[in-house]
Amino acid sequence: MKRKIIFADFFRTNGVLMGSILIALVGFWLVFLVILPQISMLDYSFRFNLPPAQQGGPRDVYTLSNYQHLLYGSDATHQTYNTIDLMVFLRTIVAAILVTIFDMILCYPLAYFLGQSRGSGFVRLLVVLLIIPYWINEILRAFALRIIFGDAGMINEVLMFLHLTREPIDFIRQDVALYAGLGYAYILLMLFPMYNVIESLDRNQIEAARDMGASWPRIHRRIVIPHAKPGIASGCTMVFMLSAGALAAPQILGGPSSLWFTQLVYQWFNNSLNWQQGAAYAIVLLVSTIIIVLTFMRIFKVSMGDIGK
Amino acid sequence: MGSGVAVNLENVWIKFGDFVAVRDANVSINGGDFFSFLGPSGCGKTTILRAVSGFLSPSQGRVLIGGKDMAGIGPNRRPTALIFQNLALFPLMKVWENITFSMEVKGASAAERRKRADELLDMIALGGQGDKLPSELSGGQKQRVAIARALCASPDVLLLDEPLSALDLKLRQHMRTELRAIQQRVGITFIYITHDQGEALTMSDNVAVMKAGVIDQIGTGRDVYDLPSTAFVASFVGENNMFRGKILRIDGDSAQVDVAGIGPLVGRISPAASAQLDAGDEAMIFIRPEALAPGEGEAGRTLNATVVNEEFEGNAFTVYLDAGGNAEIRMSLANTGQHRIAERGSRMALHFPAGKAVVVPVGELASE
Amino acid sequence: MKSLNLSRLAFALYLLIFFTYLMGPLLVMSLTAFNSPSFPSASPWECFTFEWFSVLWHDNHIREGIYYSVIIGIGTVVLSVSMGLAASIVLTQIWPRFRSAFYTMIIAPILIPGVVIGISTLVFWDRVGRLLGAGEGSALNGFFHNGLFLTILGQSSFIASYAMLVFVARLQRFDPGLTEAALDLGATHTQAFRKILLPFMRPAIASASVLAFLASFENYNTTTFTIVDYKTLTTVLAQKVRLGIDPSISALAFSIITLTVLAALAVEAFRRHSANRLAARLRGGAAGRLLSGFFRGNVPAVLLVLLSMAVIVTAGVAQRYDPTQCKVAVQAAKKAEIQRRIKALQESRKARESAAPATPAPKAPNANSGAFGNVFAPNNLPGAPGASQTAPAQESPSQKPGNGAFGNVFAPGNLSGASDAPDAAPDSPPARPDNGSGFGNVFDPNNLSGVSGGN
């Protein structure tokens, strides 16, 4: 039966007191913690960085200069591009996409295995093993990788022991450590959504397909992957957004000469104390990542409602 | 009996946006009655029940309980108790806590509640089971707990929303009798919602048959079964054979209908429809399968058909016949030891007693 | 048949790689917590020691960070769980036409980068403070710039989405008929909420609270902006890790891993236990004696007890264990090695000087791929070399007079190890013996901006 609920019905269902509490909580969250902060950050990004005395004064007008800075740097003539910051931006986006793809490929077989073999103690053990690193601090995980990738770390020791290299490889400077660390940090956010959807796939579908003579690659392409699409999309979205927005891993694992875009934002805020410039960079990061996610969701025909399942 | 409280619906309309769920319902239910709303799913009967219990308010019209207008009174302040389709027993509370929940919210002490719970548990023959969880009970036991929980609130009106639909056939039949017995013992008004005409007919004092938001007929089970007022009621309540034709002649309360391929049949005009029918109108004539019997009868009460198939059902045989045109005829004969009724493909004469055919205006039939 | 075995082998190899990637770093890090060199490394293994736990225990910054992390965590749990629960209830009731828009709005905070959330929270409440006319230094201004307040709000804005997801999953199995039944039986809406919906949601509330607390506890990206002049465990850790690393962080990680494993086992054990009890109840048998019943058929419970016992025993041993002997030996070996190498260096230099005086000095420590050499090689100490290495040595020895494991942090062997570093790595600046606190340098503003600027 069709039931549409409008405000009056909402209060009828929940009572005036409970209804008001619910609306107040949701309203506070959305308005004061999500919408208004984003709007005021947007507003900030269009303003000059003025000393407090001049704020609200005649010089406090809207400007595009913070965005121009990303494109052209401090060069007022706009002749040359701000190649350093733009390269950082590009590198961040491309690397985040690569990290996402890497995690997706790495997780799919395990997600399929866990999702389709239910009940056994071995599988439960694997799941518990997976959950443990999930709850270790992101910084500690990055720290662990730094120990391993260090000049005297495990990997260099092994490589040198095997005489694959004579001198320690500087994984940190080569950004190998950073990419491995980003992939490591968010890998479980890829695995669990995939695992959840694949678990809900009826085994009979796979057996029916095998019965009809489909090869394993075809079964995956035609049955498992279409079914798992919401989970894959969910995992990819989270890994991409979190990698692109990561701060801890780049700070700990990043080489001294290569920056992540969030580190630029961090520097504008905490070192240059130029909040307006930082807000502009943050807006660029937010908008571009959202556009990329929406584009991919459009390409792969995934709806927003699938995210978070 | 008759100590219960009357419920009246006056010109009740219930709309959800553009969708009209209930259209101009007028029902008066006597105090102490067992009253059923019967109709296919989606006909609006549950909506009426929710309007009576206060979970939604009519877009138009009034709901009166004991003569008092219920507008603006929420479900927790109405003298009604609802038994839900899925029973809605609180899964995390023990049986006795479930039963006495209405006392708990009014602040009754645990000892008081426990005592009342034990009384009610004895009444529903579940003495000593109060400390179980609902999940540990069988279907029929849950059913009785739900009834006890509703009765514990001492309602004036008990509303039941298809509470038996989840039970298997045997238990359902048993619970029908039990529900009727409980109703007669406590003497309060029961309003019962069902799509199962068997339930409605066996338990109710009065039945309202609904179709797509409209109440087609209100009457005793016997009236509804024997003298349906519309084609829908005739086809929805029980099995029926329908023939369509033109009225040749009206004679007091009977009409002669000319059915193509069969010839004229004489039937009684449904009292509610007598004003709508005139000679020359298209009409429908309904004959129950059990009203038909083999053999020639009087003119106008006989028809000839070819046997298509025959099914044995234990207590009865059902014979499927073809009378030409599209009319498929079903005849139900009690199993009195006969070996078989007729050869497949053979021609056969059927007759029915006077008053067992009903003529109604052409209307929508209940879909199978 | 053969190809089946081959693909099995491939899959086993894949599993091995996956879990090595996942667990390997944590295992290595755990090992470094027990190795004596002051730079965290698992090899070469020098001396088994508990001293880094002692360093960790006496680190006031970490303690303070944990204290504020817990306060923020509790505040975030309360706020985000209530907002998430309210949003999930509204989501189940909202007009279908608005449902997907509403869902997008309440799921979006998960996808907004934490950095952006941190900044927007900071900027917005700063503006609110100014709008309300809170001048510099006033109480109101202090409130809107209070790091705890801002961090709780910032974190809650997206942790509430996680909580919401947990609640939505549970609410899908809730029968709204139950609430209606309660209302029908005379309960008020508040009573129906408290007695019907809340008990039903209790498991979800528990797991959402744990989730929210952990998410808050480990959050860095948002917190680093909103925390202003407070510190949390993660911001302290990030500072430490960026400015120089030391095995006491490994010790912290190992403690957290142990706690996580214990908690996971406890949860699993109780889950198994209640499942067993339910099964027994359904069979109609008695629930069984409490304790023996708890362990029967409950592997996680047994593991839990064994592991707890292992932790207690280890802690007891740690009080008595003293690796000084080992350290002295390692120290001596190291010294001898360095002596030998310097000698070799001098000899080769002499030889070369006589042969071709212009040749630059070879990179001796690296060329010799020897384990000991690398530890003290200059390029092994990125960030702020020396600072954290010498840190333990600066603590006052009077803190722990006992002769147990924790006392030997200040053992002469260790001290000399630290002072050896400049010998082997003459480029690294000497530690500044300033304000006595172990990590004084870390929070020196010059040092901080220098590092993050060059990062």
**DSSP string covering C354-370, please?**
HH-TTPPPP-HHHHT--
Q: Which of A106-115, A262-271, B233-242, C362-371 has the lowest mean pLDDT?
A: C362-371
The string of pLDDT tens digits covering residues B324-337 is 766 788 998 888 87
In this structure, the strands spanning B80-83 and B157-161 are: parallel
Q: How far is CA C90 from CA A168, B215, C98, C158, C160, in A?
A: 57, 35, 11, 17, 14
Question: Residue range B85-114: average pLDDT?
Answer: 90
Cβ neighbors of B181 (< 8 A, separation 6 or more) are none
Give the model's pLDDT for residue C454. Answer: 28
Q: Quote the number of domains for chain B.
A: 2
pLDDT band at A55 (very low <50, low <70, confident <90, very high): low
Do A9 and A123 reside in the same domain of the chain?
no
- Cβ-defined contact of A2 to B47 (cutoff 8 Å): no
> Is C402 inside any structural domain?
yes
Do A148 and A23 reside in the same domain of the chain?
no
Shortest CA distance to B366 belongs to which of B259, B217, B248? B217
Do C176 and C302 reside in the same domain of the chain?
no
How far is A231 from A193, CA to CA, in rounded Å? 5
Q: Which domain holds residue B28?
A: 7-226
In this structure, the strands spanning B214-219 and B328-334 are: unpaired
Report yes or no: B105 at the C interface, CB cutoff 8 Å. Answer: yes
Give the model's pLDDT for residue B364. Answer: 86
Do C111 and C197 reside in the same domain of the chain?
yes
Q: Is the peptide bond before C44 cis (omega within 30 degrees of 0)?
A: yes
Do B215 and B292 reside in the same domain of the chain?
no
How far is B287 from A305, CA to CA, in rounded Å? 54
Shortest CA distance to B31 belongs to which of B64, B7, B54? B7
pLDDT of residue B206 exceeding 90, the answer is yes
Do A282 and A188 reside in the same domain of the chain?
yes
* Neighbour tally for C350: CB within 10 Å: 10
Q: Which of A127-141, A285-299, C57-71 has the lowest mean pLDDT?
A: A127-141
Q: Quote the number of domains for chain C.
A: 3
Strand order across the B7-16 sheet = B19-29, B7-16, B60-65, B68-69
Do A5 and A115 reside in the same domain of the chain?
no
Do A170 and A103 reside in the same domain of the chain?
yes
Shortest CA distance to A136 belongs to which of C261, C185, C203, C93? C261
- Which of C185, C278, C281 best probes binding to B when mutated, by most B CB atoms within 10 angstroms? C185
How far is A246 from A138, CA to CA, in rounded Å? 10
Do B160 and B113 reside in the same domain of the chain?
yes
Closest Cα in chain C, distance from residue A38 (Å): 6
* Neighbour tally for B176: CB within 10 Å: 16
How far is C179 from B211, CA to CA, in rounded Å? 29
Q: How high is the ipTM of this complex?
A: 0.83
Cβ neighbors of A43 (< 8 A, separation 6 or more) are none
Which partners does chain A have (≥3 C-beta pairs < 8 Å)? B, C
CA-based torsion, C186, C192, C195, C200: positive or negative: positive
- Cβ-defined contact of A109 to C237 (cutoff 8 Å): no
- Cβ-defined contact of C22 to A133 (cutoff 8 Å): yes
Helix (H) or strand (E) holding B160: strand B157-161
Q: Report yes or no: B265 and B249 within 8 Å, Cβ to Cβ.
A: no
- Which of B16, B18, B59 best probes binding to A when mutated, by most A CB atoms within 10 angstroms? B16
Q: Domain end: B226, B259, B281, which one?
A: B226
Q: Domain end: B194, B226, B258, which one?
A: B226
> Is B102 inside any structural domain?
yes
Shortest CA distance to A138 belongs to which of A286, A285, A267, A250? A250
Shortest CA distance to A248 belongs to which of B29, B308, C234? C234
Question: Residue range A27-40: average pLDDT?
Answer: 91
Cβ neighbors of C216 (< 8 A, separation 6 or more) are C69, C72, C73, C76, C77, C80, C155, C159
Shortest CA distance to C85 belongs to which of C216, C194, C219? C194
For Cα atoms B91, B188, B46, give the angle at the middle one, nearest 5 degrees: 55
pLDDT of residue B79 exceeding 80, the answer is yes
Do B88 and B194 reside in the same domain of the chain?
yes
Do B259 and B138 reside in the same domain of the chain?
no
Chain A and chain B share a number of CB contacts under 8 A equal to 16
Taking the CA atoms of chain B, what radius of gyration do you get in angstroms? Answer: 24
Do A33 and A176 reside in the same domain of the chain?
no
> Is B366 inside any structural domain?
no
Do C338 and C397 reside in the same domain of the chain?
yes
pLDDT band at B249 (very low <50, low <70, confident <90, very high): confident
How far is A149 from A169, CA to CA, in rounded Å? 9
Which residue is listed with tokens 């934002």? A265
Cβ neighbors of B161 (< 8 A, separation 6 or more) are B46, B49, B82, B83, B84, B85, B193
Reading phi first (left if > 0) and then psi (alpha if -120 to 50, else beta), residue A254 is in beta
Residue type, B154: S
> Is C3 inside any structural domain?
no
> Is A66 inside any structural domain?
no
Give the model's pLDDT for residue C297. Answer: 66
Do B200 and B267 reside in the same domain of the chain?
no
- List the single residue in B17, B47, B57 with the smallest CB-CB distance to A4: B17
Do A32 and A117 reside in the same domain of the chain?
no
- Say how many Å lie between the first and final Cα of chain A, rounded: 26
Which partners does chain C have (≥3 C-beta pairs < 8 Å)? A, B
> Is C16 inside any structural domain?
no
How far is C84 from C98, CA to CA, in rounded Å? 18
Q: Which domain holds residue C260?
A: 22-34+246-276+288-321
Cβ contacts of A164 on chain C, cutoff 8 Å: none
pLDDT of residue B125 exceeding 70, the answer is yes
Q: Report yes or no: B357 and B287 within 8 Å, Cβ to Cβ.
A: yes
A106: CATH: 1.10.3720.10
How far is A151 from C375, CA to CA, in rounded Å? 9
Q: Chain B: which residues have CB within 8 Å of chain A?
A: 16-17, 19, 21, 42, 46-47, 55-57, 74
Do C390 and C253 reside in the same domain of the chain?
no
Q: Domain end: B164, B192, B226, which one?
A: B226
Residue ranges for chain C with pLDDT beneath 50: 287-288, 358-455
Give the model's pLDDT for residue C84. Answer: 94
How far is B303 from B305, CA to CA, in rounded Å? 7
Closest Cα in chain A, distance from residue B78 (Å): 14
Cβ contacts of C4 on chain A, cutoff 8 Å: none
Q: Report yes or no: B333 and B316 within 8 Å, Cβ to Cβ.
A: yes
The string of pLDDT tens digits covering residues B250-262 is 888 888 898 887 8
Report yes or no: C282 at the B interface, CB cutoff 8 Å. Answer: yes
Do B278 and B189 reside in the same domain of the chain?
no
* Neighbour tally for C32: CB within 10 Å: 29
Q: DSSP class of residue C397? A: G
Count the helix, strand and coil residues of chain B and give each as a percent rounded to the nearest 5: 25, 35, 40
Closest Cα in chain A, distance from residue B24 (Å): 19
The string of pLDDT tens digits covering residues B263-320 is 888 889 888 888 888 888 889 999 999 998 888 888 888 888 888 888 888 888 888 9
Closest Cα in chain C, distance from residue A80 (Å): 24
> Higher pLDDT residue, B95 or C333?
B95
Q: Report yes or no: B245 and B324 within 8 Å, Cβ to Cβ.
A: no
Do C215 and C251 reside in the same domain of the chain?
no
Strand partners, B304: B349
> Is B106 inside any structural domain?
yes
Report yes or no: C22 at the B interface, CB cutoff 8 Å. Answer: no
> Is A102 inside any structural domain?
yes
Q: How many residues does chain A have?
A: 309
Report yes or no: C175 at the B interface, CB cutoff 8 Å. Answer: yes
Q: Quote the number of domains for chain A.
A: 2
B119: CATH: 3.40.50.300
Give the model's pLDDT for residue B298. Answer: 82
Q: Which domain holds residue A193?
A: 75-306
Give the model's pLDDT for residue C434. Answer: 37
pLDDT of residue A178 exceeding 90, the answer is no
Which residue is listed with tokens 């130029």? A274
Closest Cα in chain A, distance from residue C72 (Å): 16
Do B34 and B85 reside in the same domain of the chain?
yes
Give the model's pLDDT for residue C421. Answer: 37
Do C268 and C346 reside in the same domain of the chain?
no
B327: CATH: 2.40.50.100
Q: Which of A133-147, B204-218, C265-279, C392-406 has the lowest mean pLDDT?
A: C392-406
> Is A252 inside any structural domain?
yes
> Is A68 inside any structural domain?
no
Do C63 and C156 reside in the same domain of the chain?
yes
Q: Report yes or no: C407 and C401 within 8 Å, Cβ to Cβ.
A: yes
- Cβ-defined contact of A4 to B42 (cutoff 8 Å): no
